[in-house]
Chain A
Amino acid sequence: MTDYLLQTTWIIPFYGLLGAILTLPWSLGIIRKTGPKPAAYLNILLTAIAFIHGSLIFNLIWTKPTQQLVFPWLTVADLNLTLAIELSPVSVGALELVTGISLLVQIYALGYMEKDWSLARFFGLMGFFEAALGGIALSDSLLLTYGLLELLTLSTYLLVGFWYAQPLVVTAARDAFLTKRVGDIILLMGLVALSAYGAGLNFSQLERWANTSPVEPLTAALIGLSLIAGPTGKCAQFPFNLWLDEAMEGPNPAGIMRNSIVVSAGAYVLVKLQPIFTLSPVSSDTLIVLGIVTAIGTSLMAIAQIDIKRALSHSTSAYLGLVFIAVGLGQVDIAFLLLFVHGIAKALLFMSAGSVILTTSNQNVTEMGGLWSRMPATTTAFVVGGAGLFAFMPMGVFWTFQRWFNGSWDVDWWLLAVVLFVNTLSALNITRLFRLVFLGEPQMKTRRAPEVAWPMAFPMVALTIVALIAPTAPIQWPFWLSPTTPLNLGEESIIQLATPLIALSGFVGIVIGATIKLDKAWARPTQMIWRFFQDLFAYDFYIERLYELTVVAGVAFLAKLTSWFDRYVVDGVVNLVSLATIFSGNALKYNVSGQSQFYILTILLGVSLLLWSVLNGQWSIVTNYWSSLLN
């Protein structure tokens, strides 16, 4: 019975897919007379079933060793493609996180999107999203994971593009897709190469391959880099970080998913690929460098944002930067813990932000204030989510950092410096936002702010409770996944100083955030230097502009050049040859307006000409042949 149940695990992602398919009658406009809510209810129901099914499996899996389910997909010539899923507490736990958050988000969306007539399409996309994410959680095959990452790219495109008539959405959806796609294609190159070098595409086979079949250092480095590219796009890491900012044009419930689970999915894949990165130091180093650059850069960007969603989304990139560093160092357990605690905290913050946005019809934090006394659930969610996001209060991230630096891992001073930096700015950012949004005097747009209705409040409160008990994970987690065994270096000074320093950095962040002068709407710093930095951070270091002037302009120029070359050079040369075309073209004009019989004549003429050219003057033989047949 247990085994049978375990064998059915693969069904769980399909609930979401089924839900997506069931929304089609509404989203295609076949059912027009009644509203789209049944599609939403169906999806919520199926997600709930998926969650319950997953919970059953999760309870069973604890006592079992890790299992694989392998499905043969395609055998052709010497290539054998199989799709595999892994049944382990980690993979099923990740699946539970996906379905759980998805369930809460869908209930939340029922409230947030209640006035949207395209609700069915939204829930269809959410179901699709959930299916792809759930698949990634279970997948034990790089091929399957790659496929699902691409489907994730597609559904991100469609979800960001949900409000397709809104001008900024048009570019945001496009950029989100293309940015992620660049990463995906490079990943595909790595995939093709790996497969060609004889590695099986299941993660366990890859690990074996990495241990036994060494390739040249250059090849190893290139393969490693190409595999990093995919997750870099998904996790919104430099240089592919801007799409996440733009993607905030999409509906907020999708934003909750994106900032908590979707980015984590990218990092999850990265963790799974970790064995390959051991082949070449280049890939690990790249991971660390990308992580550091992103963590520092996006932390700075976050504190200058005036849009509540963007202030939070840049911080997502920063935390994922820390995850990149952890993977680069081979400290996979820490990466998992960071993903988990960050995911929950960020989901909560985004839920809170969504309810603020819906109530005030506004995303500009400088136009807000004074919401705390009227919105208990929203305020609590923000406080709990915020406290879980940076290390000061004994919440999720604090315990994760504590375990990172408590002597079990080989840590260095530079790492501590990065963590301190991110933690300080994160604390500053959350405190700043809290002051702007919830404290102070109400402004015009926050004058009337009743708490949101139960479909939004309930998931928010539920997730608040989850976030409050989430710290047990980093406290209880046994380090068992990382390739390097935990050390025990209790004596070094860094170990002794780290935890107090981190807590102090959180405190410093709060103090700065609580004391700096905050600008209300339309007010800007008067000193040039501050303005310069504010703009520099607020506009993401002008990276977008830089891309426009380099990559985009380059491709556009090349395309124009090729097109010109095609029209005037290639075609021109060819047309020289066909000067005769024009000549005979004139003759043809008459024919075009002629009778249909004329064309039949042309055909007959053509065919007989052809036959004639073949048989050239041998008519007697032909006639003989035919007459012999007739006789």
Chain B
Amino acid sequence: MVSTKTIKSSKSLLIDEYVQRLEQGEALLKDSPENLLEVVGILKSYGVVLDAYSVNLCYIANTQFLVLFPFFKYFNGEINPSKWVRYVWQDRINFEYAEYCMKSMFWHGGGGLDAYVDSPEFLAVVRQVIQAKFKYNPFMLGLNKLFPDYLPEHMRQMTFYSGLGQFWRVMSDIFLSLSDRYDNGEIKSIPDVVQHILDGLVADAARPITYTVEVRGQKYDIVPKSAGITFLMDTGVPYVEAIFFRGTPFPGTISYNAQAYQIPYDQGMFNYGALYADPLPIGSAGIPPTLLMQDMRHYLPDYLHEYYMERTRGEDDLKVKICQSFQKSMFCVTTAAVKGLAPHPLDTQDPQEKEANRAYLTNWLKRLIESQLITVNR
């Protein structure tokens, strides 16, 4: 009993410590030259990978909707023998991971996009698209009658393909420009990194998220601009919630056995997201983020690759090291998001505002303290 009490009190102490840190303009991740090198380097390769993911998600959403056998959905429309050979050899970006994130986001829901795809306006347009697409396909139309939610659900998923693709477009640009500025010597500390990301988020916060498809020359606005879906609140925040915090349980570490009750009933209690995941099993069976780490290994900047080579097993445990750096960088992104969403500027001197900020931050930290935060700062 004594020990649990001390753990509890040490936990609230830790929360206070991190809240103070944030108030003083620091990030969740400690500032150190190694951390900076790891974070910027990994965000550079993440930016490259996200760029590819984003392009592909948008391609799928725009051209592969209502296609039952999308054999070439990862080809981005460019089908030739050499690309074919590379894809059979799986010498390519693992777009499965992008889809995994999309499905995760779609499944967890939340935000304006999630609400909009349930609206009658959405359904009305989708019905038109289905009728247009399968004009000469009585089988699919019949199936649509028999299972009325089948194709609309598919289009909802396509909408999320597009939504996540557009979200990642912005993020990729932020990370790549961060790397450029670092190479120019403009980024010197972790707080600089956070500020750069924050600026990027703020700049695009109100950017509209839309989704338009074309069938037989006719354009359909599935998510029109008028729906008022915006970048930060309707894709960014749900993304952070679904991917950073909740995630889905990895079959490689968690039992799905219903009678074992390892997975909570309430999705809100899920803590399998990027900030929580254990980096050690990366590379093992049943750990989907391995795909992302594998993708990033191809685009590591030289300085980071050298840094990894000097540590532990060099090339042999590269994916685990990438994951550890990646988690660090995600804490920087989280810091930026926390700062951006704060009710008042964090350096405010107004006591009332300070109070409100403090309550807001403590709330975040209560969730974050259970994550890998302590480990990455050790």
Whether the pair A165, B147 counts as a contact (CB closer than 8 A) is no
CB-CB under 8 A for A374 and B147, given A168-B255, A307-B258: yes
Whether the pair A165, B90 counts as a contact (CB closer than 8 A) is no
Interface residues of A in 476-526 (CB under 8 A from B): 521-522
The interface residues of chain B lying within 8 Å CB-to-CB of A521 are 265
A34 at the interface (CB under 8 A from B): yes
Q: Within the assembled complex, what's the spacing in Å between the Cα atoms of A38 and B87? A: 9
The interface residues of chain B lying within 8 Å CB-to-CB of A531 are none
Interface residues of B in 263-302 (CB under 8 A from A): 263, 265-267, 281, 283-288, 290-291, 294, 297-298
Q: Within the assembled complex, what's the spacing in Å between the Cα atoms of A453 and B258? A: 25
CB distance from A364 to the nearest CB of B (A): 4
Whether the pair A163, B256 counts as a contact (CB closer than 8 A) is no
Q: Within the assembled complex, what's the spacing in Å between the Cα atoms of A35 and B153? A: 31
Interface residues of A in 159-176 (CB under 8 A from B): 162-169
Whether the pair B294, A165 counts as a contact (CB closer than 8 A) is no
Whether the pair B291, A373 counts as a contact (CB closer than 8 A) is no
A538 at the interface (CB under 8 A from B): yes
Whether the pair B96, A362 counts as a contact (CB closer than 8 A) is no
Whether the pair A115, B107 counts as a contact (CB closer than 8 A) is no
B344 at the interface (CB under 8 A from A): no
Whether the pair B153, A168 counts as a contact (CB closer than 8 A) is no
Q: Considering residues A34, A163, A248, which has the most beta carbons from chain B within 10 angstroms of its beta carbon?
A: A163
Give chain A's interface secondary structure class.
Answer: loop
Whether the pair A444, B267 counts as a contact (CB closer than 8 A) is yes
Nearest B residue (CB) for A539: B259
Interface residues of B in 128-185 (CB under 8 A from A): 143, 146-150, 153-154, 156-157
Q: Considering residues B156, B256, B287, which has the most beta carbons from chain A within 10 angstroms of its beta carbon?
A: B256
The interface residues of chain A lying within 8 Å CB-to-CB of B256 are 357, 361-363
Interface residues of A in 100-120 (CB under 8 A from B): 114-118
Whether the pair A373, B257 counts as a contact (CB closer than 8 A) is no
The interface residues of chain B lying within 8 Å CB-to-CB of A444 are 265-267
CB-CB under 8 A for A118 and B107, given A166-B251, A168-B255, A373-B149: no
B109 at the interface (CB under 8 A from A): yes
B362 at the interface (CB under 8 A from A): no
The interface residues of chain A lying within 8 Å CB-to-CB of B267 are 444-445
A89 at the interface (CB under 8 A from B): no
CB distance from B69 to the nearest CB of A (A): 5
The interface residues of chain B lying within 8 Å CB-to-CB of A167 are 255
A372 at the interface (CB under 8 A from B): yes
- The interface size of chain A toward B, counting residues with CB under 8 Å, comes to 59
Tell me the number of A-to-B contacts counted with CB atoms below 8 Å. 149
Whether the pair B89, A34 counts as a contact (CB closer than 8 A) is yes
CB-CB under 8 A for A307 and B259, given A34-B91, A117-B287, A121-B285: yes
Whether the pair A363, B252 counts as a contact (CB closer than 8 A) is no
Q: Within the assembled complex, what's the spacing in Å between the Cα atoms of A115 and B251? A: 11
Whether the pair B89, A363 counts as a contact (CB closer than 8 A) is no
Q: Considering residues A33, A117, A307, A454, which has the most beta carbons from chain B within 10 angstroms of its beta carbon?
A: A117
Q: Within the assembled complex, what's the spacing in Å between the Cα atoms of A361 and B104? A: 9
The interface residues of chain B lying within 8 Å CB-to-CB of A363 are 256-258
Whether the pair B90, A117 counts as a contact (CB closer than 8 A) is no
A394 at the interface (CB under 8 A from B): no
A147 at the interface (CB under 8 A from B): no
Contact of A35 (CB < 8 Å), options: B146, B248, B294: B294
The interface residues of chain A lying within 8 Å CB-to-CB of B255 are 166-169, 249
Instruction: Type the 1/0 row for B284-324, where 1 means its CB is closer than 8 Å to any CB of A.
Output: 11111011001001100000000000000000000000000
Contact of A117 (CB < 8 Å), options: B143, B249, B290: B290
Instruction: Type the 1/0 row for A425-455, where 1 means its CB is closer than 8 Å to any CB of B.
Output: 0000000000000000000110111110110
CB-CB under 8 A for A35 and B94, given A362-B256, A376-B143: yes
Given A374-B147, A448-B109, A454-B68, 9 new contacts (CB under 8 A): A116-B286, A122-B285, A163-B285, A166-B252, A310-B258, A366-B258, A373-B148, A376-B150, A451-B153
